[in-house]
Amino acid sequence: MSIIEMLRHRLANGVRVNELMANHTSWQVGGPADYYVCPVGLVELVAVLSACSETRIPYFVIGNGTNLLVLDGGIRGIVINIGTSFSYIKPAGEKLVVGAGTPMTLLAFTAAEESLSGLEFTVGIPGSLGGAVIMNAGAFGGYIGDKISLVRLVDSEGKLVEKRRGELEFGYRTSNLIGKGVVYEVELELAWGDQMESKRLINNFLTERRRRHPNLPSAGSVFRNLAEQPAGRIIEQAGAKGMRIGGAEVSTQHANFIVNSGKATAADVLNLIKKVQELVKEQFDIELKPEVKIVGEESVG
C-alpha cells in the first residue's frame, strides 16, 4: 500500500499531491511538495509519522511557514503542517500548556490576560510555538527556551516522547530537539505578574516592531546576529540596503530582512542571500550565517 492510500484512510483532510509551497510560506515562494498533510489532532499526527517510518519516506514539518525558504524545485517526501488543531492554550496555575500550532502573538496576549508574566517578548514573533521552541526563538532579550518546563513530541517512529527541563538544551537559534521528531505540546513555566504592566510591555514591543520591520512578505531576520553587533547593521554598513535580484530586495527599512517586492522566486531570494554574504565577506571579512532554514531542491528547468 502506498503512503497516499495509507494516509487517505487515516486523515480527515486527506493528502494533497504536488502542493505548491509558495501558498504556505511567509516569503510566498517555493515549489511543490510531493505530499502535504494537515493532521487533525495527536492520533492523526502519530499515524502520519508511523506511515513515514513504515514507507521510509522523509518528512518535513512546518507551522506558519516563517523563517523558511523553500527552493523552487520543491520538497521531496511529505510536508506535515502543524496547524489550527494544535492551536490551544490551557492555563494551569503559573504554567501554560500550549499546543505547538499556537501563534506566538496569541500566546503573549493570553499570558497577559491570565496575569502571567514572562512572555511579553513573544508578541510579534512570526510563526507558531513548535518552530519557536525548536529554534529557541527570542526577541528583546528574551528566549522561549528559558520558559519551558516540558516538551511533548512524536518521534520519527510515531512514538510519544516527553522531554523535561533537565533533558533540554537551548542555544542561540538552536536546541537539542532538532531532528528528534515533531513537537505537539509544550508546558511553559511562568510567574504571576501585573496584567496592566504586561500589556504595556506588549504594546511597546509591538510599536517597536512596526517601526523597524517591513510589511512586504518576508521570513523575518535572514542572518544570525553576531555577538558584537546585529547582522542588519553590518549589512547596512556594507551598502546592501535596497539591493535587488529579480523580485527579492534587501529591505530599505531593516537590512536583515529580504522582502518579496513582487513575483520573487526562491532562486531570487537565495541568490540575494549569497550576494549579501559575498559583499560582507569582501568588505569586512565577516561570514554571515543564515538564520532562515533553506530546504528543498533548486529548480532544474
Residues with a catalytic annotation lie at: 173, 221, 291
- Calpha distance 159→108 (Å, rounded): 30
Q: Are 9 and 16 in contact (CB under 8 A)?
A: no
The two beta strands, 293-295 and 68-70, are: parallel
Residues counted in the chain: 301
Residue 43, phi then psi, degrees to nearest 5: -60, -45
Q: Pick from 34, 54, 42, 56: which is nearest to 11 by CA? A: 42
Bridge partners (DSSP) of residue 92 are 95
- Calpha distance 297→211 (Å, rounded): 35
